[in-house]
A and B are shown apart, each in its own frame.
Chain A
Amino acid sequence: DAGITQSPRYKITETGRQVTLMCHQTWSHSYMFWYRQDLGHGLRLIYYSAAADITDKGEVPDGYVVSRSKTENFPLTLESATRSQTSVYFCASSGTSGGTQYFGPGTRLLVL
């Protein structure tokens, strides 16, 4: 019972590089989400997806791109990483609209 997994768990990259964070869930949940967690801000929604091929912006989408070609995967790409994108990134999924979100273990990203 894998649930929801994220990879990599830790990543160090340099400014300007492209980085992709992976998220995979085995529950066949329709809804998937990407958050970043920074001290003083709590969790902030980057993007979410209601189903395959349907994505919407959250509170802080700038500098990020998502795709959802398959229900179980929801990758997050930083097209040109900046230091301000150093953060812990959490993926979550939910089976229903507005329902409880279940979180992955997170990816710690450091942009030098």
Chain B
Amino acid sequence: GESVGLHLPTLSVQEGDNSIINCAYSNSASDYFIWYKQESGKGPQFIIDIRSNMDKRQGQRVTVLLNKTVKHLSLQIAATQPGDSAVYFCADGDNYGQNFVFGPGTRLSVLP
């Protein structure tokens, strides 16, 4: 992920709506991408991953889309729930090293 400065982007959505969180990465050699969810006061929690030989992967209520041409990753959350409120961030890396690059995150707020 890329740093976007000191201010954490915030996305506010109505409960029940779909959420789309975006992430840009800079390393063309990255071939493994992960989305993490971090709730207040807790460690990052793995949500879903995708490898560079895929452009879409689905989990339970979540979908990750990968566009390698523009080095862009997105996380879609269907039927967003209050429990989805957290900071979400992406990480990208390659199989040759351990140096994952983490984005600064997007704060998702779910409105009742």
Contacts and interface: CB of A to CB of B under 8 A. Distances in A.
Nearest to B44: A103
Interface residues of B, number: 30
B44 A43 contact: yes
B100 A101 contact: yes
A105 B42 contact: yes
A41 B6 CA distance: 8
Contact of B32 (A35, A59, A98): A98
Contacts of B99: 45, 58-59
Given A98-B32, A100-B46, A42 B97 contact: no
Interface in B84-105: 89, 91, 93-100, 102-105
Name which of A41, A43, A94 has the most chain B CB atoms within 10 A of its CB: A43
Contacts, number: 64
Interface residues on A, range: 20 to 34
Interface string A49-90: 010000010110000000000000000000000000000001
Nearest to A4: B43
Interface string B28-40: 0000101010000
Interface of B: 1, 3, 5-8, 32, 34, 36, 41-46, 49, 89, 91, 93-100, 102-105
26 contacts: A33-B98, A40-B3, A40-B6, A40-B7, A40-B104, A42-B102, A43-B44, A43-B102, A45-B99, A45-B100, A50-B98, A59-B99, A90-B43, A90-B44, A92-B43, A98-B98, A100-B46, A101-B34, A101-B100, A102-B46, A103-B43, A103-B44, A103-B45, A105-B42, A105-B43, A106-B41
